[in-house]
Structure 1
Amino acid sequence: MLYRVEGIVIRSMDYGEGNKIITLCTENAGKIGVLVRGAKKVKSRHAALTQLFTLGEYVFFRNGTGLGTLNAGEITMSHYRLRGDLYMAAYASYACELLDRILLDEETGSFWFQQLKACLGELEEGKDPGIILNVYEMKMLQTAGYAPKLDVCISCGEPRSEEELLISPRLGGVLCKYCRHLDPQALTITPRALKLLRLFERLDLRKLGNIDVKEETKLELKKVMRSFIDMQLGVNLKSRNFLDQMDKYEI
């Protein structure tokens, strides 16, 4: 059967001497693997369609639920600026790998696609990559069914002041100081950072404006969101390890 989909390349790997296999995140057909014959050849007309972060229309033949074979395609947005900047490419790779690891094959959902599309667009526009990824991570947690509970204590259910709350990635939300014994490893959080996390819950990357955040608050948000990803999703991402190395050596 012949398929025509709008998709974003979230993974690209060599296959054989001259071919590539790409993984597409699509709006209406889920996550799909497509074989692109001859993509590694110098004069290949499909080579550009296999580049990471590329948004385009892909036409491929697939028999059943296996690997598709590309027939034709047209690029909508190449995101070449992201690939051309090591720093931005690292952030974009993390966004793609995170989605790839939590989105099941054939699992449909326009929201996954739209948030990744918006994330890559915001990165290319030059907005703060750390904040963009924090919002994106929150959207991924929400869509995967692991949204943190940030309004009241996850244990006693009582509304507390922001000064009385801690963050418990293990339990999946805020924990008041009276219930801290349930998670001695709960993280302290400033009222400013907690307010931003609650804002991230409501934000949509497709409508994201400029958010000015102090450097110390960015570090706090990064630590909290990373802990939620680790505890709730349990994924080890190569792209995140690379981001850590970049931060370490200040590339």
Structure 2
Amino acid sequence: MSRYKIEAFVIRTNRITESSRVLTLYSREMGKVKCVAKGVGRPKSKLGGKVELFNLIEGDLYKKETTELGVLSGAGLLEDFKGISGDARKYGFASAWCEVLDRTSHSEEPHPETFELTFNYFKVLRSAKTESAGLLFWSALLKFLTLEGYGPALDACISCGKPVARDRLLITLQRGGLIGHECVELDEPVVQVTPEALDLLRAMMELPLSKLDEIAIDKRTGKQVAEVILSLASYHLGLPRNLKSFRFIEDLTDSGRLGA
């Protein structure tokens, strides 16, 4: 059995006994890993209060190469992100982000850039206005698409390179970018957007998350942007359109998944 020192976010927890849980972690060193946290529910457990959802921990992982499940032995709390857990809307979108990581990541494939994006997203979300939670989530997902090589090209038609008229804006899912009507192929999946939605998408790609909290958007533009990003993530990453966290978020608000 090998020992690994890891720094990781807790992205999923499942209770297996009254005192033990199976954790899904997203680590800097190993990517997504699963492990057992034994005795975490006991009053004197050294893990108690540390391995909660969203927490950033540092610990020792013991694991055999032939098994998927390791054992977490001891952990130090690096960040607890209480500002997220105490706000229902922030909690919902942070949970959705954890679902994204869990569903799109393969076990033990490290992606340090995604780890850093997660840390930055949680840090900005913790101190952001509640009403900005949706915009920050979709911005983080758009940046994640870019890290994976699927960020949309939004400057000109992705097919011919010519400018696209702002009154006829389409984004092709297959080719991942803005496309002119005359360049769309038969049965090619596209999403129509308004000029305002296109401008917001460009800002979300260019600006750091810390600056996006300052942007005010209307409900229609927010919904369009969310639809474009979700469609791209579904098409290229296989991300389900009906994440469990989305249902929780929609129960909180009548403004849709953007939550703006």
- TM (normalized to structure 1)? 0.88
Instruction: Point out 4+ residue stretches in structure 1 off by more than 6 angstroms.
Output: none
The structure with the largest helix share of the pair is 1
Q: Render the CA deviation track for 1:89-148: whole Å, top value 9, x for unaligned.
A: 111000111011111111111111011111111111024112211211112212223222
- How far 1:181 moved relative to its partner? 5.6
Aligned to 2:93: 91
Q: Which moves more between the two structures, 49-58 or 59-68?
A: 59-68
Aligned to 1:221: 225
Aligned to 1:22: 23
Q: Render the CA deviation track for 1:133-181: whole Å, top value 9, x for unaligned.
A: 1211112212223222222223333333433431233442212122346
Q: Which moves more between the two structures, 11-20 or 155-164?
A: 155-164
Aligned residue pairs total 250
**Secondary structure of the corresponding residue to residue 213 of structure 1:** coil
Q: Which moves more between the two structures, 18-27 or 238-247?
A: 238-247
- How far 1:220 moved relative to its partner? 2.3
Q: Which moves more between the two structures, 51-60 or 180-189?
A: 180-189
Which amino acid in 1 is paired with 2:75?
G
**Contact 2:20/2:41, CA 8 A, preserved across alignment:** yes
Q: 1:129 to 1:204 in 2, by over 3 A?
A: same
In the alignment, structure 1 residue 211 sits paired with structure 2 residue 217: no
**Secondary structure of the corresponding residue to residue 42 of structure 2:** coil
5+ residue gaps in structure 2? none
**Secondary structure of the corresponding residue to residue 131 of structure 1:** helix
Aligned to 1:39: 40
Aligned to 2:11: 10
Query: Of the candidates 169, 173, 178, which is equivalent to residue 177 of structure 2?
Result: 173
In the alignment, structure 1 residue 242 sits paired with structure 2 residue 248: yes
- TM (normalized to structure 2)? 0.85
Q: CA-atom RMSD, angstroms?
A: 2.4
**Cα distance between partner residues in 2 of 1:209 and 1:240:** 21
Q: Render the CA deviation track for 1:5-64: whole Å, top value 9, x for unaligned.
A: 111101111123321111111112211112110112233221222200001211222222
**Cα distance between partner residues in 2 of 1:233 and 1:242:** 22
In the alignment, structure 1 residue 134 sits paired with structure 2 residue 141: no
Aligned to 2:102: 100
In the alignment, structure 1 residue 110 sits paired with structure 2 residue 112: yes
Query: Of the candidates 23, 47, 72, which is equivalent to residue 74 of structure 2?
Result: 72
**Contact 1:93/1:239, CA 8 A, preserved across alignment:** yes
**Cα distance between partner residues in 2 of 1:210 and 1:82:** 15
